[in-house]
Amino acid sequence: MTDLTRLTIAEAREKLGAKEITAVELTDAYLSAIEAANGALNAYVAVTPEKARAMAKASDARIAEGKAGALEGIPLGIKDLFGTRDVHTQACSHILDGFKPKYESTVTQNLWNDGAVMLGKLNMDEFAMGSSNESSYYGPVKNPWRASGSNLDLVPGGSSGGSAAAVAAFLCAGATATDTGGSIRQPAAFTGTVGIKPTYGRCSRWGIVAFASSLDQAGPIARDVRDAAILLKSMASVDPKDTTSVDLPVPDYEKSIGQSVKGMKIGIPKEYRVDGMPEEIEALWQKGIAWLKEAGAEIVDITLPHTKYALPAYYIVAPAEASSNLARYDGVRYGLRIDGKDIVDMYEKTRAAGFGQEVKRRIMIGTYVLSAGYYDAYYLQAQKVRTLIKRDFELAFQAGVDAILTPATPSSAFGIADEDLASDPVKMYLNDIFTVTVNMAGLPGIAVPAGLDHKGLPLGLQLIGKPFEEETLFKTAHVIEQAAGRFSPQKWW
């Protein structure tokens, strides 16, 4: 029998529907794969085999009754940021030690309502703060990809590093992820997978551990564009529990797969050609342009003049919101508690022991920029710059551009414990240079694999769309996928 873990969601759905395979068989195949691989890759921080088998059994029963949901029997991995009832939910932080919520996030509930099966919780950067998955309390995730002829362990990107690695290594059929500055798209690009950050407001944030509330959005990481479309359809909803959830019906994204891009206007922003960008990235970008041209799209040069200010503005807005969101971890209501001589001492010791370095750094920056006397100079200025960043995109769209094509990352995956990056936080932050603008403007963005670099590592292209036009991104990304092909790592683990 063929390896069931190799089936895409669309293929598995067909075989399950035709009763060629059962949901229990499919789930068992993934559980065995996880058992064999997780020691090496560290993609999962908690595996839930009993729950998975029970859910799969229920799926088989519903399939037999002809009551299958849109994701019936499809085994998924869930980023540790999503609240899952009675199951490990720690945002990969020590401060949420032992936390098992008594509620289910809206996004995961939507998936279970559609019949999906939970395999377990996926590793990530602590509180989603990082671009390499190295800030996790549970240790780094290893990228299933290695450079050709090399044994060096590479990062899978972050913060959704576990999600991307698990999808690329066939340890789940698809995964949930979240993206605050690039945390879906950068790891997708580093692992040869497809990741979409939908428009702000498309997926409910209810029940997801908050990092920066005006930027956080959930989305899927999947093996191909069609699977990403299938997953997003189930994840997205209108949720009365999230006041920023937008009151728009969720389209059937899968229908856009295979639609023509003829006559579409694709914008190429000159500001994304940054200093020191490897030639390969430029070449990949040109390939993407050529593919879309060939498919009948019109390519236009555009300008997004405030691009270079997106990352500095992000490093004020995101830490400011994080410092406020993470104030709740006080050793009283949940998680870790370190006793102290009085309540303030208890707070300070708990937070000192519970948060990792990167999280502390961001809380400190956020506290500083919001503190008396600095608010106007930093926070207010950053929010004004954010208005200008959004306006750049609005002007491009008003001029008739349908979507914007850019590289997804400035490089391919780098090594674990890279000394150059570890010594300078700002250098690590530059990983998000192409993705962060999209969060600042609340727009949808998709990363799609487009080729391999000279080391044999995957590289991705990013498409940015108008608000709530995810369908445009799916159809355009599919054209790139058709031209570029799909990429899987050589198994070494």
Convert residues 428-467 into a mask of x (bound to another protein by CB under 8 A) and - (unbound). Answer: -x----------xxx------------------------x
Find the shortest distance in angstroms from Cβ 441 to another protein: 7
177 - beta bridge partners? 219
Convert residues 211-230 into a mask of x (bound to another protein by CB under 8 A) and - (unbound). Answer: ---xx---------------
Using the minimum distance from each CB to another protein, give the nearer residue, 10 or 313. 313
Find the shortest distance in angstroms from Cβ 324 to another protein: 10
C-beta of residue 119 within 8 angstroms of C-beta of residue 31: yes
> Is there binding between residue 289 and another protein (CB under 8 A)?
no
Q: How many residues bind another protein (CB under 8 A)?
A: 75
> Is there binding between residue 361 and another protein (CB under 8 A)?
yes
Convert residues 229-258 into a mask of x (bound to another protein by CB under 8 A) and - (unbound). Answer: -----------x--xx-xx-----------
Active site residue 183: yes
Q: Return the residue of 67, 252, 387, 485 that touches another protein, per CB under 8 A.
A: 387
Find the shortest distance in angstroms from Cβ 480 to another protein: 27
Q: Return the residue of 381, 453, 456, 488 that touches another protein, per CB under 8 A.
A: 381
Find the shortest distance in angstroms from Cβ 443 to another protein: 9
> Is there binding between residue 313 and another protein (CB under 8 A)?
yes
130-189 binders of another protein (CB under 8 A): none
Active site residue 491: no
Find the shortest distance in angstroms from Cβ 359 to another protein: 10
Active site residue 159: yes
Options 136, 183, 237, 256, the catalytic residue: 183
Find the shortest distance in angstroms from Cβ 248 to another protein: 10
Options 132, 135, 136, 159, the catalytic residue: 159
The span of 27-35, 226-234, 285-293, 331-339 binding another protein (CB under 8 A) equals 331-339
> Is there binding between residue 57 and another protein (CB under 8 A)?
no
